[in-house]
Chains A and B, each alone.
Chain A
């Protein structure tokens, strides 16, 4: 069996049509779009077309609201630092405990420089308390940054409602929609969202290209200055081939939008139901009724995620884990911690993220392999004894912690 790739929330395979569309921009269409001559002119037109494709995908009102960046992290950083520089009198940031490190890392850094950062807590299903949010909105809030869909669990936040609340309070609202764009239909022109980040490589475009959506009229301060590119809002020569690729990827994502929400969702549900039926002491993390159609995050209690991934990899299955050991840090995933998942389960979370390339045969393969792998590792685990947790069999394991 060919390798089964179920780590599409980490990155995706570049669509063949995207690659084909990009190739001429490395060779005959190598011009700088800023140039006056014909070499550059064609490229400039291609960028315009790509911009319109992305405008359509996210339902923006104007194509000039699309700013090309190098990645999702740059888009997030540009949005937050822009809000801060444009409103120096405001000193409070609202975000959530489960954001991507691109946002959390920057917010923690800003906290060390004197900003007050409120991280909204989530409940055991990864849901926010909007009353808490409403009570924090004030004239001192410089920006609210809340992700559209969580990268680990796929859980949606009600960003459109939160943006509306922020807008009514006169507060800028940014959303990191890196996981949502291309998987669910968006309609930004009818929302109150001021800024939105997206990343090409999560929707079958190449790595190294991202977009910041900037609603017309939103006060803005560029991160990179010194060039007229992107109307002076992001200086630096355009990554033309990748922009063209992202444009095609946006068109393809619209074509596959129904497929993603029917076929892919069915495969995800099939995988999840079969694994949960076959493996005891396993549960889905996040909010199963309100999440991305392609993501399933399952906690396998009493075993550790990296060990699961290594054994899955051996049988040709690629997934990812929220365990501490896969990240190189000592802490399990901050998302699992925020949802108050116990250590022995948080370390054993495995994220399966599907794509439009995922097939029934692949899912069947995973369904066959997972129960044996979990059983093998549980046999090694001191928390496990026979057919259940050691604690229930009266041989509780309570190690001395260093």
Chain B
């Protein structure tokens, strides 16, 4: 059974706005031939104000396809067409408290139906969208079409390249065999042979830390130092030190938020910096890498040894103090 959120189940068992809207003036019919799901979205749009007065859906699809359709109709009602077009498939998934990675295509279908309906209302031709393929990387929901397109566009030749460009393979690594298979085919198509990197247990870890290193220069108010670790560390006052730590976290935060995660500073005790990862960071297989990156960055910035300790909550912190 899929791990559906309560909200997905709720929208599936009690779908909102099911059926076609009476006297609608915009219709978007989309389907995904590969997965067999199909959706008809009907809208009633105020011709003067462009505001969506009513929305209805008819869906042939699984539980999450029906829930995504239901969520979409709730989200667009009352918006202008331009506002509605800003809704991304991630917004639809977020509205439902998340979808399993294999089911993200259901939210994509909702977004495409919306674009098709708006195009229909405006008398435009619907634009072709990203074709979806079989899911390659379950950790980051990357499909085969995306992997192939990225390999071709950037001339990639290794699994590590693919991970750096698409994130595919950056998690549990069980899809590496599949990525290699795609690379073999893509490289053969451009007349090259795939050569695997020699297997070494430590290499991956080092390489991953390098990926997470972030430019030092942008942290508030500090001059980039030519040799940060070698410079004699200036002894900072407590408040000053905490501000520096917060500045580092603030600099990193946009990267985490881009992936729907976040980090919060809970406490600083000597060399220990207690933080809380939230959002998509919780349960992410790369959380320890993220923490490693934060720790590295803090050490470079403060010029002293720092240990970043993840805690789930302030309560846990209290429990530690006892």
Contact = CB atoms under 8 A, between A and B. Distances in A.
Interface stretch (B11-19, B163-171, B192-200, B282-290): B11-19
Contact of A402 (B19, B57, B59, B129): B129
B31 interface: yes
Contacts of B135: 328-330
Nearest to A383: B60
Interface in A328-387: 328-332, 343-344, 346-347, 379-383
B39 A382 contact: yes
A329 B31 contact: no
Contacts of B112: 402
A325 interface: yes
Contacts of B30: 399-402
Contact of B134 (A323, A329, A382, A397): A329
A186 interface: no
A310 interface: yes
Interface string B63-82: 11110000000000000000
A379 B56 CA distance: 13
Contact of A380 (B34, B66, B130): B66
B38 A397 contact: yes
B180 to A, nearest CB: 11
Contacts, number: 113
Given A306-B62, A325-B62, A382 B38 contact: yes
B36 interface: yes
Contacts of A344: 36, 60
Given A314-B13, A402-B129, A383 B38 contact: yes
A307 B63 contact: yes
B132 A330 contact: yes
Interface residues of A, number: 35
Interface in A315-331: 323-326, 328-331
Nearest to A378: B60
B319 interface: no
B88 to A, nearest CB: 16
A173 interface: no
A343 B37 CA distance: 10
A313 B2 CA distance: 12
B18 to A, nearest CB: 5
B168 to A, nearest CB: 16
Nearest to B69: A380
Contacts of A314: 13
Nearest to A399: B31
Contacts of A399: 29-31, 38-40
Contacts of B47: none
B186 to A, nearest CB: 15
A332 B35 CA distance: 7
Contact of B59 (A331, A380, A401): A380
B60 A304 contact: yes
B34 A400 contact: no
B61 A331 contact: no
Contact of B65 (A304, A331, A400): A304
Nearest to B37: A304
Given A380-B66, A382-B29, A397 B40 contact: yes
A397 B57 CA distance: 13
Contact of B18 (A324, A329, A379, A383): A379
B134 A381 contact: no
Contacts of A133: none
Contacts of A329: 134-135
B158 interface: no
A398 interface: yes
B55 interface: no
A302 interface: yes
B102 interface: yes
22 contacts: A304-B65, A307-B12, A307-B62, A314-B13, A323-B36, A324-B35, A329-B135, A330-B132, A332-B36, A343-B33, A379-B18, A381-B59, A381-B60, A382-B39, A382-B40, A382-B59, A397-B38, A397-B40, A398-B29, A399-B30, A400-B126, A401-B30
Given A304-B37, A307-B66, A402-B128, 13 more contacts: A303-B60, A314-B13, A330-B135, A343-B33, A343-B36, A344-B36, A346-B36, A347-B60, A397-B58, A399-B31, A400-B29, A400-B30, A400-B31
Interface of B: 1-2, 9, 12-13, 15, 18-19, 29-40, 57-66, 102-103, 105, 109, 112, 116, 126, 128-135, 181
Nearest 3 interchain pairs by C-beta: A399-B31, A325-B62, A306-B62
